[in-house]
Amino acid sequence: MVAKESFVGTSAEEGQLSDELVGASAAWRKVLKQIDLVTPSNATVLITGESGTGKQLVARAIHAKGSRRERPFIEVNCAAIAPELFESEFFGHTRGAFTGAHKDRVGRFGLADGGTIFLDEVGEIPLSLQGKLLRVLQEGQYERVGEDSTRKVDVRVIAATNRDLKEEVEAGRFRQDLFYRLSVFPIHVVPLRERLEDVPLLAEHFMRKLNWRDRSNVPVRLSEENVRALQNYHYPGNVRELENIIERAGILTHCFLYQLTVQQILEAMLLSEQRKQLDSIATETPAHHNRSQAIMTYAEIKNLERENLIAALQTTNYKIYGAGGAAELLGIKPTTLASRIKALQIPLRPST
């Protein structure tokens, strides 16, 4: 396997982030280099890329390596805020400023004072508020809703979006001056399909995470066949989709007491995903690429388990117990294997 490449952290937080920034492709090394370049400054950073590519990890890495790493890192999901609440969320409000304002509230910029604020999905900010955001970026000043006095704040701003903000500017939905102020140092995170050489590293990384979290015995290594199958997939959901596939494979493996390996379930799942992609291409309907991931039914998983047990029995000449038996081959107790053979109605000898 290719060695993992990422920036080296010194603090506990940095070390954790270093473990998360997995990749050795030229495209990913460029991102890591940009992180190293921009970290020493306080420049505003605009991270672009499709959903699920790891923009949040890049933002956290910039904060963790910089001089503000001991100060707050405040994340704001702009897509999750109601339009009428943006100003209060960003800048806070005083008691009685509006219906429901029962006490003073510190906004996200106030909480981030001295540290970093990460504005995820910054393209969702209403046009009416963008001027006030620009003022904070340029002058470090704002007012709470319902308050006349001006407050000063010292924050580093990192923004991220999966939109094309230049198109948003041309369409009149995003201020041009705010766009230029946000994109002092742009970083583009490429989709996973453009760095498929990182897939094996990422897959093994997610397997290790699953193994550590669940204290399980999930195998970490992937066969060459697994790697080829993983690299032949399109990943419309990017790195997040790959992680979900690995985790789902691990969960399904646990359901059958390791009678099926992660690799076997993974192969079946990827075949299902690839069929879905071929169907989408055949019908020439791009919208199909956004459908939910295919999920194996219980019957499909049960049939896969049955086939796996039969293969193990055939390999061992239907020997269940002892050295070289099917139970040992599968890594389970002989009594468990006998129970599953009975439940799945598998004949102990092939029919003649």
Q: In the chain, pLDDT over 70 holds for what percent of residues?
A: 76
Mean pLDDT of 86-112: 87
Pairing mode, strands 92-93 and 116-120: unpaired
Contact 267, 229 (CB under 8 A): yes
Domain ranges of the chain: 12-190, 192-256+264-275
Helices (H) and strands (E) in the chain, counts: 15, 9
Confidence of residue 12 (pLDDT cuts 50, 70, 90): very low
CA dihedral 131, 134, 135, 137 (to 10 degrees): 170
- Can you say whether the dihedral through the CA atoms of 247, 250, 252, 254 is positive or negative? negative
- Structure-token pair, residue 314: 């055939």
Bridge partners (DSSP) listed for residue 106: 92
pTM higher than the cut 0.75: no
CATH architecture classification, 12-190: 3-Layer(aba) Sandwich (3.40)
- Residue 17 and residue 217: Cα distance in Å, rounded? 24
Count, residues in the chain: 352
State the residue for tokens 């969702």: 124
Which pLDDT value is given to residue 315?
81
pLDDT above 90 covers a percentage of the chain that reads 45
Q: How far is CA 307 from the centre of its chain?
A: 33
pLDDT for res 233 = 80
**pLDDT, tens digit, for every residue of 288-321?**
444 444 556 667 777 777 888 887 888 888 888 8
What are the tokens at 45? Answer: 């950073």
pLDDT, averaged across the chain: 80
CATH number of the structural domain 192-256+264-275: 1.10.8.60
Of the candidates 1, 129, 6, the residue with the CA atom closest to the CA atom of residue 57: 6
Indicate whether 258 pLDDT > 80.
Answer: no
Least confident segment among 8-22, 113-127, 170-184 = 8-22
What is the model's pLDDT at position 351?
A: 56
As a whole number of angstroms, the distance between CA 100 and CA 192 comes to 44
Joined tokens for residue 315: 């390999």
pLDDT tens for 261-297 read 555 556 556 655 554 554 554 454 444 444 444 556 6
Q: How far apart are CA 272 and CA 266, in angstroms?
A: 10
pLDDT band at 256 (very low <50, low <70, confident <90, very high): very low
Structure tokens at 152: 């000063």
Q: Which carries the bigger pLDDT value, residue 174 or residue 250? A: 174
